[in-house]
Amino acid sequence: MRRESPSGGGFPRTSLRRDAVRAIIAIPSNRNSIRHSNRNMGQRVKGESAPQGGSNDGFAAKEAKLVGDFARLSDWETRYQYIMKIGERRGGLSEDDKTEENLVRGCQSQVWLTARLEEGFVTYSSDSDSAITKGLAALLAGYFSGETPEAVLRREPGFLKEIGLDRHLSPTRANGLLAMVRQIKVHALGFLQASGAEDGDEGN
């Protein structure tokens, strides 16, 4: 069963260090490798069954991968490029989804976030009109996707501090990041409340 969610400082432009970034985000050559890439970030390819997870183990695996990926990049110039590449590869919404209802309040740039619930697991999708913000949103969307609403509500993205991102964002972008996390949890809470209401109706 699929259910839509009921809720509604720039960086310098630099040349891509393609060798380092591509070593982490490989360009998939077939559908199997695309599935593998999406699964690593907690996102499912259409047609795949929901992951049997939603626990701390799922988050731990995603955190370990992200921390490892960032550790392999030598400096923050390259890491910013990596974040933007995540946005290019994994971010993006249709124009129909870029609505006022899906806007994340509190972000300097325009950020849109959608959520859907399938077989008890949440999948988030995101987009932004800023390259770095689009990457940050895609990073969070991938991290929280593939988990149950309960797990999303219990989890904080501790990896952001572990990779040092909290120390390398302007105050406005840091506030925007918090706004994205807050909106992700609002969607999860909405799904949880809707599920509880349905259970109550069935009991009457």
- Residue numbers annotated as active site: 107
Q: Which two tokens stand for residue 141?
A: 């969307």
- Residue found under tokens 């009109």: 129
Residue type, 160: L
The answer to whether 121 and 33 have CB atoms below 8 angstroms apart is: no
The answer to whether the CB of 161 falls within 8 A of the CB of 120 is no
3-state secondary structure of 34: helix
β 111-118/121-128 pair status: antiparallel
CA–CA distance, 90 with 27 (Å, rounded to integer): 12
CB under 8 A, 24+ apart: contacts of 102-107: 102/8, 104/137, 104/176, 104/179, 104/180, 104/183, 105/179, 105/183, 106/175, 106/176, 106/178, 106/179, 106/182, 107/133, 107/175, 107/176, 107/179, 107/180
